[in-house]
Amino acid sequence: MFKRTRLWLVALVVGGLFVALPGAAVAATDVAPSDTTVVDEHPDIDEIKRRALNAIEKRLKTIARLAHRVESSKTVTDEHAAKLLHDLRAAAEGLTELARKIKAAETIEELRELVPMIRDFRVYQVLKPKVLQVLAADHIVVVAKRLAEFSETLEKLIRRAAEAGYDVTRPRRLLRMMRHNIAAAYELAAPVPRLVINLQPGDWPDPAKERLEEGRRRIHAAVEHLQVARKKARQIVHWLRNLADPPIDLRELD
């Protein structure tokens, strides 16, 4: 009965089990304070401008990288992508305009007013972590759904084994654990975009800091649950492999 399981099972595992998990997004702190507190330390107006413009350029490059990640993501929702790209574009335009004003400034007093505005965009404290957390959460949700679908296939294969007279106590227990962890991962990750996506620079530190920390904790925990779910799925596949003739070599799937 299980002689024809090999190719079917291999195809299912390749298509549904070994899905890459996102790196946990961490609410990064801002870049070294010295890149935006240069007015009083450097009385030379040209040096102040150089360092301030470098700080802006650094942030613009970060924004460009984040935009690329949003645009190239295969799992972010259209709604979330549109909102993130809007916020990234607004920050880039604001920083570009600020750079123009800094270049045109003629006095230390003007720069003393303009340079601190760089930090007001909170690129590293709010914008970057919220983008990464939304992308990670959407990816986790997609992976959880795929693993849930794969668990249905595993259940069917386990049922076939039971009908063939095999003791399926262990794979059924593993399947219950797999589904428990999938559900936990989904429940942890799904609320994260709503929690953080509308945060703006003016929300720092409250409520942004607390919400981003909660988002970080949720994503870390969700990733751990998905890792356990994948481990249980692999154990079930190993069990099924031993019923196939010839045995399935799981090294083919790595």
Same domain flag for 93 and 160 = no
CB 149 within 8 A of CB 162: no
Residue 9 domain flag: no
Q: Are residues 163 and 239 in the same domain?
A: yes
Report pTM.
Answer: 0.84
Spell 192-222 as b/e; 16+ CB within 10 A means b: bbebbbebebebbeeebbebbebbbebbebb
Last residue of a domain, one of 65, 91, 121: 121
CB 73 within 8 A of CB 20: no
**Res. 1: pLDDT tops 70:** no
Q: Does any domain span residue 31?
A: no
Neighbours of 41 (CB within 10 A): 10
- Structural contact between residues 151 and 145, judged by C-beta atoms closer than 8 angstroms: no
pLDDT, averaged across the chain:
86
User: Given 52, 87, 121, which residue is the final one in a domain?
Assistant: 121
Same domain, 240 and 146: yes
Of 91, 121, 151, the residue at which a domain comes to its end is: 121
C-alpha distances in Å from residue 54, one per residue of 47, 109, 150: 11, 20, 49
Q: Are residues 169 and 201 in the same domain?
A: yes
**Given this model, what pLDDT does residue 198 score?**
98
Q: How confident is the model at residue 218 (pLDDT cuts 50, 70, 90)?
A: very high
Domain containing 61 equals 36-121
CA pseudo-torsion sign 76, 78, 79, 81: positive
Q: Whole-angstrom Cα distance, residue 131 to residue 254?
A: 31
Co-location of 147 and 65 in the same domain: no
Q: Say which residue, 121 or 10, is predicted with more confidence.
A: 121
Average pLDDT over residues 202-229: 98
Bond before 193 cis per omega within 30 degrees: no
* pLDDT band, very low/low/confident/very high, at 6 (cuts 50, 70, 90): very low
| Alpha-carbon gap, residue 97 to 73, rounded angstroms | 29
pLDDT, average across residues 102-124: 97
User: For the chain, how many structural domains are there in total?
Assistant: 2
Task: Indicate the pLDDT class of residue 243, thresholds 50, 70 and 90.
Answer: confident
Task: Specify whether 50 is located in the same domain as 151.
Answer: no
Instruction: Identify whether residues 154 and 108 lie together within a single domain.
Output: no
**Does 159 lie in the same domain as 64?**
no
In a shared domain, residues 153 and 101: no
CB count within 10 Å of CB 229 equals 26
pLDDT value of position 9: 41
22-31, 74-83, 94-103: lowest mean pLDDT where? 22-31
Establish if 102 belongs to a structural domain: yes
**pLDDT per position as a tens digit, 163-200:** 999 999 999 999 999 999 999 999 999 999 999 999 99
